[in-house]
Amino acid sequence: MARSAPSGWAEAELKITGAGPMSGTTLLATTPDGVTDRKIGIDHDGQDAADQLRKEMYQHGKGTWYNASITLTHTGKLTANFDYDTPPFDGDADPDLLLEDQQLFPRDPEHLPAWHPARRQS
C-alpha cells in the first residue's frame, strides 16, 4: 500500500472485493489536508497479497470475506475490517461467480447470506 501511495500521503485505504477467482482493489490516499486521491492503482504484488489474504482467511464452514477495507497511516498504524455478508462488486457479481465462490470457499447454510444464489439451490 505504501509503495503505491503518492508522496505526501497521510492515510491509505485499500478496498478489496472478491468472489470466486476474481477480485478488485481500489486504493485511496488522503493527504494531511484531507484531499483524497481516488485514481491510484495498486501494484501487482499488492494485488497478489490481497488475493492471498482472502484465501488464507477462509474458515471451514464460515467461508471467507467478500469485501475488506485495510487502512494504513503514515505512522504505520494498520486497521482492517472484513465483511462476510455484503455482496461483492457492489452487488454486481454474476450469480455463477458467486456459486463458484461457494465451491472454492464453502459456507454452511447458516453462513450463506440471504442474497446468495446457493441458498436457492438448497
CATH number of 17's domain: 3.30.500
Q: For residue 37, how far is the Cα from the chain centroid?
A: 19
Domain hosting 39: range is: 11-113
List phi, psi (to 5°) of 75. Answer: -85, -5
Split into its structural domains, the chain has a count of 1
Strand 11-19 and strand 22-30: the pairing is antiparallel
Separation between Cα atoms, residue 80 and residue 82, nearest integer Å: 7
Asked if the structure places residue 121 within a domain, the reply is no
Collapse the DSSP code of 38 into the 3-class scheme (helix H, G, I; strand E, B; otherwise coil) and give the result.
strand
For residue 37, what pLDDT is reported? 84
In a domain, 105, yes or no: yes
Is position 50 within any domain?
yes
Mean pLDDT, 10 residues at a time, the chain of 122 residues: 89 97 94 87 91 98 98 96 98 97 97 95 68
Residue 120 in domain:
no
